[in-house]
Each structure stands twice: as structure tokens, then as C-alpha cells.
Structure 1
Amino acid sequence: MTTETAILKNIEKLPESIKQSVLLYTSFLVSQYAEKKPEEAVSKTEIEKKYGYGSLAGKIFMSDNFDEPLEDLKDYM
């Protein structure tokens, strides 16, 4: 089953008022993404490379006592 077929089957199950909302949302998505030129589109791989695991390594400071119990919670420990 293609993605389009699955989407249409789900939409058929919705009440008419919700279908109107889906139409508005899909129109928004088309205006945001479908009209971009191919050279402007960013692939998922490029996003993963830019924001992947470890991309903030060395940029975030964490104090040496991060794992120490908080003074305010000593009564509960």
C-alpha cells in the first residue's frame, strides 16, 4: 500500500468537519514544502549530519557535581 492510499483510507473514516481541517493543513504543507525548488530542498541525511548525535559535543557545559544529590532534597533521601 502506498502512502497516498493509506492517507486516503484514513481520511475516509473522518467526519466532514475534520476533513476540512485536513484540507487546510495539507494546503499549508503544500505552500511550505512542495513549491520549493529541488536545489532548495534539504534531505534527511543533510539534517542528520548537521544535527546528529554528538553535534553539540564540547559546546555544552555541565558542572562537575551534576550527579550529586541536591541540597534541597536531602530530607527525602
Structure 2
Amino acid sequence: MIVVPLAEAKNNLSKLVDDAAAGQIITIAKHGRALARLVPVGKTSGKRIGAMKGKLVLAEDFDAPLPDDMLDAFAGTHE
């Protein structure tokens, strides 16, 4: 782990970001006190958008109007 004073980090941000991307963990300090860290971004492990394509089925009437009693319940006017 590398500790860099804030003023030095401001002057060398591009190099520090490159170092972090290469795997280094860089701590930025002010008056000897750690304030922030630059860390490498890990690869995403989540599934991509669209991974469920073709696996979901919508009913033909999914956008049909709701029955009056249900609309009243949402509006808070049911008895």
C-alpha cells in the first residue's frame, strides 16, 4: 500500500489512477491522516442486462384496465 500526501496526489492524479488500475492500493493522506483510497476496480461478476431475454412471458392483457373495485381500492374510495 502506498501513502501519498493530498498535495502530491493532486499533482500526480493521472499516474496514481494508472497505478491503482494496475493493482496498487493508494491511500491519500492530509496532515498524516488517511482520507481516501484509490483501489483497482474489479471485474463485474453480475449478469448482463438482457440475460432473461426469452424467459419471461407477458399475458396478452397485461395492460388491460383494472376492475373498478381495484381502482377504488388504490384511490382509497372503496367501502
Q: Fold conserved (TM > 0.5)?
A: no
- Which of the two has higher C-alpha Rg? 2
TM-score normalized with structure 2 length: 0.33
More strand by share: 2
More helix by share: 1
Between 1 and 2, higher relative CO (CA 8 Å, sep ≥ 6) is seen in 2
TM-score normalized with structure 1 length: 0.34
